Structure 1
């Protein structure tokens, strides 16, 4: 009978002192809700709560531009509508006297459509402001430190002492 050889290896990992990430970061589950509430009350306030001050001009620029187009389209719609109503009453002394009735109807529809689209954009940017504050507050609480890493490593083989290449994904608790 032949001899049977069995080899066993043990790899000792030095112990590391790792803080509990939940205790050290003080995660508050209500923070996203607070940020969303603040943005709902006053657009941009949730971004200020999250300390993302550079987003506040973007919020006001988007909502303000949409609101500007809503107001101007509504004013022009009302002008053309008033002129059309006066035409139906038999008057032709308005500032659009050079347009026929069909052109007044077309202009009304055009500005009404622009007004309605602008109102949708105002509502959409307002909702996006709230969603951004909520998501940003939730992402701030993620643990991004050295205990979570992805690094290439080289391990020597214990028997042949040749280098083995591998990737290590480690998360220390």
Structure 2
């Protein structure tokens, strides 16, 4: 029943994500040039810049990353991030399998000691230490699962934010940059921020 409900919700979410149209924004840029001669010449240059604006690009990128990790980064054309996503997830899976193997080894040795055998692979280690080793291995397994889930979630968030930022218009007209000057009187460094606004 839960699986059917999940499939229905997934189908509804997928159909609504692709039901919208792409908007286009037309930006009109005017530039006026005035010469300094007697007869002032005014040249009006109008450029119609059609840049497609897709309001669903962030949700598509997040959806693609949720279905297949790294697919949202490919949708955003940030291919260099895909190996990072898979390396992070593979590292978590590797440590999960390693800690699961260690946990099973400690558990089997502990069970053999409870059954009265003393021929396990941990001869010089006490029973209390085997119990502690089991707890640590189980805790590390849980941390590995959390790490995989975190990398998966960061993959989705990164695809969404990157798609948002690709549509953001960054110009040089407004800038905030650090400035560094040396005071000539006392030879001390002055740090600050310079705010520039170009017309």
Instruction: State how far apart, in whole Å, the 1-side matches of 2:89 and 2:152 are.
Output: 7
Instruction: State how far apart, in whole Å, the 2-side matches of 1:51 and 1:114 are.
Output: 35
Instruction: State how far apart, in whole Å, the 2-side matches of 1:62 and 1:93 are.
Output: 39
TM-score, length of structure 1 as denominator length: 0.71
Give the gaps of 5 or more residues in structure 2: 1-30, 33-43, 176-195
1:168 aligns to 2:197 (yes or no):
yes
Matches within 5 A, 1:10-159: 14=32, 16-19=45-48, 24-145=50-171, 149-150=173-174
TM-score, length of structure 2 as denominator length: 0.63
Give the gaps of 5 or more residues in structure 1: 1-12, 152-166
The count of residues paired between Structure 1 and Structure 2 equals 139
Deviations 1:22-68 (A, max 9, x none): xx221111111111111111111111111101111111111111111
CA RMSD of aligned residues (A): 2.2
1 or 2 for the larger relative contact order (CA 8 Å, sep ≥6)? 1
